[in-house]
Amino acid sequence: MVRKITFHILFSLTIWVMGISISRAQVSLEQAIQLTLERNLQIKQAQFGYQMSEQNLYEAKSALYPNLSAGVSNSYTYGLTFDQISGQVVRENRWTSSAGGQVASNVAIFQGFQKINQIKANKIQLLIDATEVEKVKNDLTLSVITNYLEAITNNELYEAALQQINLSREQLRQDSIQFEVGNKTLADLAQSENQVATDELNIMSSQNAYDLSLLALKQLMEMPPDTQITLVKPDIAGLMAEYAGISYEEVFEKALLTQPAVEQATHNKQLAEKNIDIAKGAFYPVVSLSGSYGTNYSSEVFRQQNMSFSEQLDQNKSFRGGISVDFSIFDNNRRKAALNKARINYLQAENSEALTKRNLEKTISQAILDLKAANKQYMASQVAFNTAKVAFQALKERYDVGMANSIELFTAQTNMNRAEFDMIRRRYELVFRGKVIDYYIGNPITF
């Protein structure tokens, strides 16, 4: 009995410790990105497209080889018929039978280099699909950064709201005591109660925002909604120093080499150029080689010449080989239109590449400006919060001795609360803008 009780106690303690460790499991930004890249279904969907392109390339390479087919046949006829093998008309009311077999092969030895160019085009398409996978990963990485920092922001707003309501409740308690002894009016007490209600609303709003942003992050990582995780907060001072000397030229040059969208646009242009070569190949003649081997059997030959099945297969065998040249003289301008379309597609792809680089240039310019602005705004929000906090504390001292009314006090408290919320938002706005720069230049995304 003692052993059983000891076992149950130890087992319960183990489960309790495991429950604590699970509920307090920390997920860093780097881990969140890694989990998303390993589990997210959008990446798997893009990888399926890459696998389809692999098969298209395999199919294009296989088209260079000659085909090979084999077939056998057997037929029975009653009454009037013409026996192809014996060359005789059968008019009697009886059954005749025939059988045959054939092996045939055909290959195009020249087709305007269309098959070779198709292989090259499929190789480029494979590169395009590979960059599409990387593009999906990049987009998901940016989504993780956004939701991770949004969740941290909302969590800090929630914690700030909890501190604010504690201050409001303490003020309500003091005002209730002062109201009982006649030092405060009913209006003062109502103002205190209103401030508590306002702070409670802030708590509910920030809690809901935190839950939603954390849920979105879990969905990106393909986690069950009830999974309990905590997030790691960044070192703000270290990040500010890290991006202090960053320049536009440095970021843009690195982005051109690391961003999948730019690489994809270049490959699309190469594919369009190869499609022009394929369209030109249609203007050349098609030269093909063909060959076949076959033999047959006829009951009519057996009846007339008494040749057995094996003898007929040997005597009736035949081999056929040939070469053909096919050239289309006029095809209602289909080849010409296809070539013109291919050239237009190349111009579109060329323009799309230039547009992609131009958009990247604009985006990075905006990202640099946003980072600098976020830094200034965060510094300003710190000053604003500190001054609002000092103003509130000074006004509270005057309120406590009856030199300020409740409206002035709670106006100062509201201003301080708003300044603190704004400072929190500006703090993580700065972090986000810095991580966006890392995203564009291909740096590891971590705190």
The model's pLDDT over 410-433, given as tens digits with 9 standing for 90+, comes to 888 889 999 999 999 999 999 999
Range 27-64+111-285+333-441: architecture per CATH: Up-down Bundle (1.20)
- With contact defined as beta carbons under 8 Å apart, do 143 and 362 qualify? no
pLDDT-wise least confident of 68-82, 245-259, 336-350:
245-259
Residue 280, judged by CB atoms within 10 A of its CB (0-12, 13-18, 19+), counts as middle
Q: Where are the alpha helices (DSSP H) in 231-333?
A: 236-242, 248-258, 260-281, 299-305, 309-315
Domain with CATH 1.20.1600.10 in the chain: 27-64+111-285+333-441
Query: Is residue 384 predicted with pLDDT exceeding 60?
Result: yes
Report, as an integer, the average pLDDT of 295-301: 90
Mean pLDDT of all residues in the chain? 88
67 compared with 189, residue with greater pLDDT: 67
Q: Report, in angstroms and rounded to the nearest whole number, the Rg of the chain calculated over CA atoms.
A: 40
Percent of the chain's residues with pLDDT above 70: 93
pLDDT-wise least confident of 65-74, 189-198, 233-242:
233-242
**What pLDDT was estimated at residue 92?**
82
**What pLDDT was estimated at residue 280?**
96
Q: Which two tokens stand for residue 31?
A: 């881990």
- Name the nearest CA neighbour of 118 among 185, 59, 164, 199: 59
- Name the nearest CA neighbour of 217 among 235, 206, 231, 233: 231
- With contact defined as beta carbons under 8 Å apart, do 85 and 297 qualify? yes
The tens digit of pLDDT for each residue in 359-370 reads 999 999 999 999
**What pLDDT was estimated at residue 73?**
93
The tens digit of pLDDT for each residue in 5-32 reads 443 444 344 433 444 343 457 899 999 9
User: Of the segments 6-15, 239-248, 379-388, 437-446, which one has the largest average pLDDT value?
Assistant: 379-388
Strand pairing class (26-27; 230-231):
parallel
**What pLDDT was estimated at residue 174?**
86
- With contact defined as beta carbons under 8 Å apart, do 276 and 342 qualify? yes
Query: Is residue 201 predicted with pLDDT exceeding 80?
Result: yes
Residue 71, judged by CB atoms within 10 A of its CB (0-12, 13-18, 19+), counts as exposed
Residue 403, judged by CB atoms within 10 A of its CB (0-12, 13-18, 19+), counts as exposed
What DSSP state is assigned to residue 294? E
**What pLDDT was estimated at residue 239?**
66
**Region of 235 on the Ramachandran plot (φ > 0 left; ψ -120 to 50 alpha; else beta):** beta
Q: What is the model's pTM?
A: 0.79
Residue 1, judged by CB atoms within 10 A of its CB (0-12, 13-18, 19+), counts as exposed
pLDDT-wise least confident of 31-40, 127-136, 233-242:
233-242
User: Of the segments 79-88, 133-142, 305-314, which one has the largest average pLDDT value?
Assistant: 133-142
The amino acid present at 5, given as its one-letter code, is I
The amino acid present at 63, given as its one-letter code, is A
Mapped to the 3 state alphabet, what secondary structure does 330-350 carry? CCCCHHHHHHHHHHHHHHHHH
